Amino acid sequence: AARKMYEINLFAPINLSRKILPNMISRKSGVIINISSIFGEVGGSCEVDYSTAKSGIIGFTKALAKEVGPAGIRVNCVCPGIIDTDMNEDLTFEDIDSLCDEIPLGRMGTVEDVAKMADIDLGDISFWRSSLEIFKERVEEFLRLVEA
């Protein structure tokens, strides 16, 4: 199970980036957006492998941004907090409630919320951003704006 988790969360994004980079470099433009997790930044109890893989994506994003930035390629990483997905289906109501108590909006994020964050990184408005990790507080701030 751990090997598959590393394959999906760490090696797949790295290998995909390596496949698409030659074309981006020849065009001198492109955007790569990796999806990490707040656990990649702060770790997660009972989530050592997941936290390690997500931390690896953050490090990969930072290094790759420095490497390919001069070629006009932006590499960013979105680091959301807890998202309402099947991954969390085994959490009890009490666990979810406790986690949501720590979030100013009082709710888990959604897949759509993460997609909106990635969409901002794809747009021209973020032309200056490279290797910027969007932490839980920034995601929550964005969600407040979206919901307003």
Q: Are residues 79 and 43 in contact, defined by beta-carbon separation less than 8 angstroms?
A: no
Q: What pLDDT is recorded for position 16?
A: 94
Percent of the chain with pLDDT over 90: 39
Confidence of residue 103 (pLDDT cuts 50, 70, 90): confident
Q: Which two tokens stand for residue 120?
A: 């901002």
- Selecting among 50, 68, 114, 132, the annotated active-site residue is 50
Look at 102 and 68; give whichever has higher pLDDT.
68
Taking each helix axis from N to C end, the angle separating 136-147 and 111-122, rounded to the nearest 10 degrees, works out to: 100
Torsion of CA 128, 104, 102, 122, to 10 degrees: -20
What's the chain's Rg over C-alpha atoms? 16
* Terminal Cα-to-Cα distance of the chain (whole angstroms): 41
**Contact residues for 136 (Cβ-Cβ < 8 A; gap 6+):** 38, 79, 80, 81, 103
pLDDT for the residue numbered 140:
55
Q: Tell me the pLDDT band of 34, cut-offs 50, 70 and 90.
A: very high
CB 105 within 8 A of CB 143: yes
pLDDT at 57: 96
- Residue 10, pLDDT > 80, answer yes
Instruction: Specify whether the CB–CB gap between 74 and 65 falls below 8 A.
Output: yes
Which is it for strands 30-35 and 73-78: parallel, antiparallel or unpaired? parallel
Exposed/middle/buried for 147, CB within 10 Å: 0-12, 13-18, 19+? exposed
CA distance linking residue 92 with residue 143, whole number of Å: 24
**What pTM was estimated for this model as a whole?**
0.74
Please say if 50 is a catalytic residue. yes
